[in-house]
Amino acid sequence: MPVTDLLERNHKLYGEETALVELNPMVKDTKKTTWKEYDLVQATSSKPYRREITWSVFDEKANRVANMLIERGIKKGDRVAILMFNCLEWLPIYFGILKTGAIAVPFNFRFDAKEIKYCADLAQVHILFFGQEFIGRIESIQEGLSRGRLLIYVGDGCPTFAESYRELVADCSSQPPLVLLEEDDDAAIYFSSGTTGFPKAILHNHESLMQAAQMEQKHHLTDRNDTFLCIPPLYHTGAKFHWMGSLCAGSKAVLLTGTTPEIILDAVSKEKCTIVWLLVPWAQDILEALDSGRLKLSDYELAKWRLMHIGAQPVPPSLIKHWKEYFPDHLYDTNYGLSESTGPGCVHLGVENIHKVGAIGVPGYRWKLKIVDVDGKVVTQGEVGELCVKGPGLMTCYYNDPKATDEVLKDGWLYTGDMAMQDEDGFCFLVDRKKDVIVSGGENIYPVQIENFLAGFGKVKDVAVIGLPDRRLGEITGAIIEIKEGMECSEEEIAEFCKGLPRYKRPKKVIFAQVPRNATGKIEKPALRKKYGAEHLVAQQNQG
């Protein structure tokens, strides 16, 4: 059945119960007319900004969005994008899109203006919902972006080049639209990227989304008494599909803005959260705050917190051991997945397998895995090969890219590009990534984009960007730069030039050295990672 049926069921069964809470501890509840004013409020206020909606209101808002879109000509198979920070409007808009039979297309809010335009064209988007945080980016490309597209603004003070979400939905019916949906209907497009750095549009159907919801509920035993704390952005498959466990169970979720240890523990305490999904840096920050005495567990009411799970990056076993010293009664899970597999969970550790921390785990609910050699043959247990997964959450395809689809989908198996091995108990361990994507703090960073940018600096002869191990972020971006003969260059010059990149893409470490290439002209990144990764790790250990 389509995933929208779960929302309609919750409306009928649990209509007056809280579905979603939006919590921003740094912003007071006030009318805001400009983004500059919002910044001022955020910087000066300590009064929490909190809103909530029930399941009935959630569903009715989604229906209003759906009926508005249908009035605007949206039909099955059309693409409608969302570019917003987490807020109470996000999920009703998403489900409103799904209810029309259209395809929801969440955009990464880190996209710059050119990336927004590129992805809108790639997915052939008809309508774009955007929040006030993105006015500047949208305005800079709106002439090209708005050709044949409707721009809908969600917030106060609608810009002249867009239409107001509030005005558009105000008089629309709150009754379900008369659109028949099937589980094999297309539902959502998420963006990913390989080593080329160019995003791919990953198409999923309703069966994929339903699989994610049911799997998350089953893996973490989510029931109606649980409250899920959602901190990562909802455009991310991890956040979205972990939340869908709450959708499946009909239980409350809290959308939290802020990642400091104080903000997280305060939200868990006041909202009586039971399940919290963290990234490694956030867990490390909490532990460091507790170790230093800056935070005391006795200051918070955390008795209901039963499960902490981590995904999106490798998890050091020492971190979980340390975590259990403070939270001995917590269940723990780690989740592996890709956007092509409807996000996390196609492989997971399992709450009963904490003795295997360090492994990504075993096949998730209704999933299978195998590890193969370069010829596609299953390797002997204990040998390293490419991890492949198969299950009902697999993507349909890369949208309008059959060549790229055929490269990774073979006989119903997704070839992940990750190198792994399986131990004698059947637990899977990641060994290395076949792809060169850097995962820093749970975010994917694509080396080729940074390499191409740095190659534009006049003193650079050659450049290679790799991930260097980092205790807090998992990896940081390292740039090995070969300077043109007869020239001199400093790290300060590179840092100044890199101000043209988004902050999260700027190299955290610069190494001036020769860039090795093989006979076919490819950069020998494994050798670079081996040499500089080991050196960086030793330097970190010496520092702390």
Greater pLDDT, 234 or 525: 234
| CATH superfamily, domain at 441-543 | ANL, C-terminal domain (3.30.300.30)
Q: Could you tell me which residues come within 8 angstroms of residue 477 by beta carbon, excluding any fewer than 6 positions away?
A: 438, 440, 445, 447, 450, 465, 466, 467, 468, 505, 506, 507, 508, 509
Confidence of residue 447 (pLDDT cuts 50, 70, 90): confident
pLDDT averaged over every residue in the chain? 89
Q: Could you tell me which residues come within 8 angstroms of residue 509 by beta carbon, excluding any fewer than 6 positions away?
A: 468, 476, 477, 478, 479, 536
C-alpha 98/C-alpha 189 separation (Å) is 11
Q: What is the pLDDT of residue 461?
A: 84
C-alpha 306/C-alpha 327 separation (Å) is 9
CB 93 within 8 A of CB 154: yes
**pLDDT above 50 for 460:** yes
Confidence of residue 29 (pLDDT cuts 50, 70, 90): very low
Q: Could you tell me which residues come within 8 angstroms of residue 291 by beta carbon, excluding any fewer than 6 positions away?
A: none
- pLDDT tens, position by position, 52-105: 999 999 999 999 999 999 999 999 999 999 999 999 999 999 999 999 999 999
Cβ–Cβ contacts within 10 Å for residue 530, how many?
11
Q: What are phi and psi of 146, to 5 degrees?
A: -85, -5
C-alpha 315/C-alpha 429 separation (Å) is 11
The torsion defined by the Cα of 524, 525, 529 and 530, in degrees rounded to 10, comes to: -30
**Percentage of residues in the chain with pLDDT exceeding 70?**
91
Please give the angle made by the CA atoms of 368, 372 and 373, to the nearest 5 degrees. Answer: 175
C-alpha 186/C-alpha 189 separation (Å) is 9
- pLDDT tens, position by position, 371-410: 999 899 999 999 988 999 999 999 999 999 999 999 999 9
Q: What is the pLDDT of residue 444?
A: 75
Confidence of residue 165 (pLDDT cuts 50, 70, 90): very high
Confidence of residue 351 (pLDDT cuts 50, 70, 90): very high
Length of the chain, in residues: 544
| Rounded alpha-carbon distances, angstroms, from residue 535 to 279, 469, 470, 515 | 25, 10, 12, 17
Q: Could you tell me which residues come within 8 angstroms of residue 424 by beta carbon, excluding any fewer than 6 positions away?
A: 381, 382
**pLDDT above 70 for 34:** no
Cα 488 to chain centroid, rounded? 40
- pLDDT tens, position by position, 266-317: 999 999 999 999 988 788 889 989 998 999 999 999 999 999 998 766 677 8
CB 334 within 8 A of CB 310: yes
One-letter amino acid for residue 116 of the chain: I
Confidence of residue 196 (pLDDT cuts 50, 70, 90): very low
Pick the CATH number of 4-249 from 3.40.50.12780, 3.20.20.30, 3.40.50.300, 1.10.3720.10: 3.40.50.12780
| Rounded alpha-carbon distances, angstroms, from residue 271 to 23, 44, 302, 326 | 10, 24, 10, 20
Query: To 10 degrees, what angle do helices 55-71 and 90-99 make?
Result: 50
Mean pLDDT for 137-145 is: 90
Q: What is the pLDDT of residue 450?
A: 87
C-alpha 42/C-alpha 48 separation (Å) is 10
By the 10 Å C-beta count (0-12 exposed, 13-18 middle, 19+ buried), 471 is classed as middle
Q: What are phi and psi of 26, to 5 degrees?
A: -105, 0
Q: What is the pLDDT of residue 537?
A: 66
Cβ–Cβ contacts within 10 Å for residue 134, how many?
22
CB 418 within 8 A of CB 454: no
Cβ–Cβ contacts within 10 Å for residue 440, how many?
21
Fold of 306-420+428-433: Luciferase; domain 3 (2.30.38)
| Rounded alpha-carbon distances, angstroms, from residue 235 to 84, 277, 287, 380 | 8, 15, 28, 38
Greater pLDDT, 84 or 504: 84
Q: Which pTM does this prediction carry?
A: 0.82
Q: Encoding tokens for residue 19?
A: 């579905």
- Going from N- to C-terminal start, the domains of the chain cover 4-249, 306-420+428-433, 441-543
Report the SS3 class of residue 58: helix
C-alpha 356/C-alpha 531 separation (Å) is 29
Cα 384 to chain centroid, rounded? 27
Q: What is the pLDDT of residue 41?
A: 35
